[in-house]
Chain A
Amino acid sequence: MSKLVLTVDDSAAIREMLAYVLKSAGHRVIEAEDGMDGLQKALANQFDLIITDQSMPKMDGITLVKALRALPQYAAVPILLLTTESSDGMKDEGRTAGATGWLVKPFDPNKLIDVVAKVTR
């Protein structure tokens, strides 16, 4: 089923790639280029899923997760952290902040589609 997905990454290339993959699976995508931009867009729309990078200007991914989890409308929406390496430290931080899961770059496009289906079911 088509979902409204927010992708947050400061790399335009990653954003385009994510959008390309997600749209090919029939989802609708809105892009944000840093945590603050993502937060603003999340306040303006109700997303079914949020995929965010960790390291970004203005606001990083973990902080975005915390800020989103502070909002009642995003208390239960799945949030995936996109990271460069899956380190235990990052996972701990992500879990504490309230992220639903993590996804390591480089990701396999089909895997991404599966994961999205899984967490938004």
Chain B
Amino acid sequence: MAIDLTRFLPMFFEETEEHLANMETQLLRLDPNAPDPEALHSIFRAAHSVKGNSALLGAARFSEVMHRIESILDRIRKEQLKPDNDVITLLLEACDVVREQAGRLKDKGECDEAALDALHERLRRFTPAETSAPAPSSLPAPARRSERFSIEVDLPSGQGITGLPLANLYAELGALGRLEDVRTDGTTSLSLILLTAQSTDVVRDKLHGLLGAQSVRVTPYVAPPKLAEQPPPAGSASEFGLFSDEVSLAQTTGMLSERGFGRRAIDHEATGILGRRVTDRLHLDRSSIRVDVAKLDRLLNLVGELVIAQSMLSEAATRGARDARLRDSVAYVGRQTRELQEAVMGIRLLPIDYLFSRVPRLVRDLARRLGKEVELITHGAETELDKEMIEKLADPIMHLVRNSLDHGIEAPVVRAAAGKEKVGKIQLRATHQAGGVVIEILDDGAGFDRERILAKAIERGMPAHPGMSDEEVWQFVFAPGFTTAEELSDISGRGVGMDVVKRNIRALGGHIEVRSRPGAGVHIVLRLPLTLAILDGMTVEIAGETFIVPLSLIAEAFLPQSYQVKTVTTGARVVQVRDAYLPLLSTDQLLGLKGKTTTQAAIAIAVDVDGRRAALLVDRLLGQQQVVIKSLEANYRRIPGIAGATVLGNGRVALILDINALLHLEIPTSGGQDLEAALGAA
């Protein structure tokens, strides 16, 4: 019978990625002086799983490399090797090589043998045969966080082991830690070894509560003296055997890899999840299943359509129907639709830990290269946001952290001279605020240099003057190509950063704020919506068409009085709002619509985009509503000043204004056809 197992390949690649990510996280947390046995165990297990998977993927070279890694981990576990910086770096780099080569294997069906050979060679230098093992006594006594306990249970007389509440006992032990040994004579006693981070008292209390104090003894585990170090296990060729009848069954048959399992093209569509990492939490969740992301996207799209259909229905019902029952039913459908929408969006939410967990590695590598000392602190890693959002945030956040390390945090000597702690701090924080997510990146470095930024801005012919507020000065940092770095490093400072960061954040419907105090560091705040699919909007009417203005950008709406409006020398108009003058923009003209909006009859909406403020004139405010964003590019083409489209309750298409782009638009001579064509097409 031919059984095709290639359909499982994508899962193996995915799992390999997860194991590598897990190894990396645990390695970064490992305390070189007192490595936690449970953490080591976990790293070892991950390496072992990668080894197992490589064998299944038909990648023998991987297995060899992973075997070397296991040997190194084994030596650390046996306290023959101290996991110092060099060892950890080597292991982290090994993870990189394996990850890269696994990617190649997946994409091209082969890996770069030379890269694996080179890694193998490097790893060999840390494995026993080639190096003399340092005496265990030369290592400091590790202060362990998890410990082993011996647990002795007296079995109920006459009943033996079946007299114990075994299911509860094992469930309790499983919750406490890792059960490492079970021995029994079947009639009088049961001996267990438990590895746990809990104290003796906790373990004892739990077991006493379950089995009665009389029949349980918990003592620290004492390892029996070993006669000799076991030789490294010699591989045996047989694939299967019975302990009672080894000879007759231990014949070798075809391996999976010989049957073509492992070198075939892989269906990329089938690999789901967020590429790199699944947190421990997801691993532990018994009832979780894996779903192809494309299926989720389809579900979300359908629900989006349903929301639109529902609002059409609701509008028709409230307008036409006299029947109260119909109205109630429609309202009920409306509530259920909203709930369904929230539930579906909830499926796509992931903890931001997916992203935060990648930062420690970056910080470690960069700090080493720059000769700086940095402590990374993360808060709110469990904060959830949309999967797509997390993916798109990765680059901007990595860039901001890189900047903080490179430009913000000073060298240890400089910090000491300034009376600061030698070790710099970078904090990553995520919180839910007002229906969105706020991500903050803080450092306690030197902060922005106001004078230097100003000088640079003036040099580059930007509209800068010494009287500007700090907030205005910091905005120059986001100008394309802006850098104050004297030398270009390969880390950052090429000035191709902050403008891209800002653009990316903007594209996500978010905005970025910068605060800085000289000597005290930089505080960057990213404000983002929870999801990319839905927007809280204000519906407005401009020149007879309906548009949506993102609610998050609106500061206030007011009726401009003629005395508030002034025309400045360039011909542009400003409107006075309390003590400030805001540029007053005729939205209809900016969009090239043949409008008739006059200041007298219009309403002004004051908007604030990253500190840049303006007032937009619109004809009418129609109301607030959540809209499902549809890409205009996907359905028509990109139009300056328009962020996307949505379908309203009455079935008509409304365009969503891209406020930031509008603030930068020149009044066009002819652009109206474009927009009318878009409305027609959509």
Contact = CB atoms under 8 A, between A and B. Distances in A.
18 contacts: A10-B49, A13-B12, A13-B53, A17-B8, A36-B171, A40-B170, A43-B170, A55-B44, A55-B49, A63-B181, A72-B162, A84-B51, A87-B234, A87-B235, A101-B243, A102-B241, A104-B239, A111-B239
Given A67-B170, A72-B161, A99-B243, A89 B56 contact: no
A115 B178 CA distance: 31
Contacts of B239: 86, 103-104, 107-108, 111
A106 B257 contact: yes
Given A86-B241, A102-B243, 18 more contacts: A12-B11, A21-B3, A40-B170, A43-B170, A55-B45, A57-B178, A71-B161, A71-B162, A71-B166, A72-B161, A86-B236, A89-B233, A94-B243, A101-B249, A107-B256, A110-B3, A111-B240, A113-B1
Interface of B: 1, 3, 5, 8, 11-12, 14-15, 42, 44-45, 48-49, 51-53, 55-56, 58, 160-162, 166-167, 170-171, 173-174, 178-184, 186, 190, 230, 233-244, 249, 253-257, 259, 261, 286, 290
A36 B240 contact: no
B474 to A, nearest CB: 47
Contacts of A110: 1, 3
Q: Which 7 pairs show the lowest CB-CB distances between chains A and B? A: A87-B233, A13-B11, A36-B174, A106-B256, A101-B242, A109-B3, A67-B182
Interface residues of A, number: 57
Contacts of A95: 243
Interface in A39-87: 39-40, 43-44, 55-60, 63, 66-67, 70-72, 84-87
Interface in A1-48: 10-14, 16-17, 20-21, 24, 33, 35-37, 39-40, 43-44
A12 B283 CA distance: 10
Contacts of B171: 36, 40
A70 B190 contact: yes
B195 to A, nearest CB: 10
A117 interface: no
Contacts of A86: 235-239, 241
B79 to A, nearest CB: 20
A95 B255 CA distance: 24
A108 B170 contact: no
Interface of A: 10-14, 16-17, 20-21, 24, 33, 35-37, 39-40, 43-44, 55-60, 63, 66-67, 70-72, 84-91, 94-95, 99-111, 113, 115, 118-119
B186 A70 contact: yes
Contact of B180 (A14, A37, A63, A85): A63
A66 B185 CA distance: 11
Nearest to A109: B3
B255 A106 contact: yes
A40 B443 CA distance: 48
Contact of B253 (A20, A85, A105, A111): A111
Contacts of B180: 59-60, 63
Contacts of B235: 85-87
B240 A104 contact: yes
Contacts of A109: 3, 5
B182 A66 contact: yes
B72 to A, nearest CB: 16
A79 to B, nearest CB: 10
A58 B44 CA distance: 14
A99 B233 CA distance: 19
Contacts of A101: 240-243, 249
Contacts of A103: 239-240
Contacts of A10: 45, 49
Given A36-B170, A39-B170, A119-B242, A58 B181 contact: no
Contacts of A63: 179-182
Contacts of A56: 45
B242 A108 contact: no
